[in-house]
Amino acid sequence: MQALLVLEDGKIFKGRSFGASGQALGEVVFNTSMAGYQEIITDPSYKGQIVAMTYPLIGNYGINKEDAESRKPFLEGFVVKECSKLASNWRKDRDLGDYLKENNILAIEGIDTRALTLHIREKGAMKAILSTQDLDELSLVDKARKSRGLVGLDLVKEVAIPKKYVYSQSKENKYKVVVLDCGVKFNTLKELKHLQCNVTVVPAWTTYQEILEENPDGVLLSNGPGDPAAVGYVIKAVANLIGKVPLFGICLGHQVLGLALGGSTYKLKFGHHGANHPVKDLRTGRVSITCQNHGFCVDIDSLNKKDIELTHVNLNDGTSEGLAHKKLPLFSVQFHPEASPGPHDAGYLFGKFIEMIRESK
């Protein structure tokens, strides 16, 4: 079946459908990972986006139940150069195309993903539409231009869990951590469980009073989709938690923490999406290769330098990648330290969180 990917600036890519039928609107971005397409598809942070993979052959090891990062796919559409016709892996449950159809995700193959990536790098991430039904190019350009985009949009409410649940509970565990779910990935929860934490996951709209009633030793602010400035209820809760309990923010959680501390955020030209971003820890000089997925960034200059320290910087473009308070028990990073598959260089940050909890106790 023919499919079209049409960008708001009028750029058109023609290809073949290998997912669901219909049309999908979203911001088109590129991801540079060579593997891990299942984790990318099931990452809630991609809500509102159409993801194009720069690696040319995707789908060659299929889909399995164990590697999902959330309860279902949340991205709007999927774009590849070629979807492998043969999926071979002993853990495989189904093919990529079948999985996308089952979850009503549109997908297109057969386009020049290199040209698409270069176009986004030059022009910036932009609104787009993926369609197998309406193939009128002018009509699709108009629909893309009129779509909602990401700026000012609260997408967290569309991915967060509806009610709290206990992920891990054992008398042998030493610490209790509450995870504020803005679109948390399962591997984050697994890391906390591995570090002997009793983990309770609560919806993003949980108030700070309700979080403190859980009597946590620490609170983790999860990753998530969209514009961090649009989730005022999360920012308010986090602002009231500062100084009362140790805090660790990841990705959107990092941005929300920056806003709760009185700072501001801005939209990047085409964001950071991939598993090969070099980040330098300014305190140790150590460089980690990190997994990232975000389109917004904390303006570190908007924060009070007397209290807040820039801890990490992206070596590709110099943007801020981490912050910490000089007196209070809190820190956050823009990248995903729980990445799997991908580099595990930044996994030590979970240990740092536990150390901060231990010192606070």
- Maximum pairwise Cα distance, the chain: 62
Which of 31, 107, 25, 6 is CA-nearest to residue 294? 31
CA distance 318 to 330: 23
Same domain flag for 257 and 135? no
Sign of CA dihedral 4, 60, 288, 326: positive
CA distance 280 to 283: 9
- For position 345, what pLDDT does the model report? 77
Decide if 151 is inside a domain: no
Query: CA dist 169 to 45, 113, 160, 161, 195, Å?
Result: 27, 45, 21, 19, 12
- For position 344, what pLDDT does the model report? 75
Same domain flag for 185 and 323? yes
Q: Of 96, 122, 146, which marks where a domain is finished?
A: 146
Q: What percent of the chain has pLDDT over 70?
A: 99
- For position 347, what pLDDT does the model report? 80
Same domain flag for 220 and 128? no
Same domain flag for 133 and 175? no
For 240-278, what is each residue's pLDDT tens digit? 999 999 999 999 999 999 999 999 999 999 999 999 999
For 308-353, what is each residue's pLDDT tens digit? 999 999 999 999 999 999 999 999 999 999 876 667 777 889 999 9
CATH of the domain at 181: 3.40.50.880
CA distance 252 to 271: 13
Q: pTM for the complete prediction?
A: 0.95
For 95-122, what is each residue's pLDDT tens digit? 999 999 999 999 999 999 999 999 999 9
Name the catalytic one among 251, 277, 297, 321: 251
For 22-73, what is each residue's pLDDT tens digit? 999 999 999 999 999 999 999 999 999 999 999 999 999 999 999 999 999 9
Q: Of 146, 172, 190, which marks where a domain is finished?
A: 146
Annotated active-site residue 194? The verdict is no
What band does 211 get if pLDDT is binned at 50, 70 and 90? very high
Same domain flag for 104 and 71? yes
Total of domains in the chain: 2
Same domain flag for 125 and 193? no
For the residues 133-140, what does the mean pLDDT come to?
Answer: 96
Decide if 21 is inside a domain: yes
Task: Provide the 10 A C-beta neighbour count for residue 112.
Answer: 13
The rounded mean pLDDT for the chain is: 95
State the Cα angle at 289 between 344 and 328, rounded to 5°: 75
For 234-246, what is each residue's pLDDT tens digit? 999 999 999 999 9
Which of 165, 160, 177, 292 is CA-nearest to residue 231? 160
Annotated active-site residue 291? The verdict is no
Same domain flag for 140 and 170? no
Q: Of 146, 180, 207, which marks where a domain is finished?
A: 146
Annotated active-site residue 83? The verdict is no
For 142-180, what is each residue's pLDDT tens digit? 999 999 989 999 999 999 999 999 999 999 999 999 999
Same domain flag for 316 and 212? yes
Same domain flag for 73 and 170? no
Same domain flag for 215 and 347? yes
- For position 341, what pLDDT does the model report? 67
Query: CA dist 274 to 39, 40, 230, 337, 348, Å?
Result: 11, 9, 24, 13, 20
Same domain flag for 133 and 233? no
Q: What are phi and psi of 151, to 5 degrees?
A: -65, 125
Q: Which domain holds residue 345?
A: 156-360
Same domain flag for 356 and 302? yes
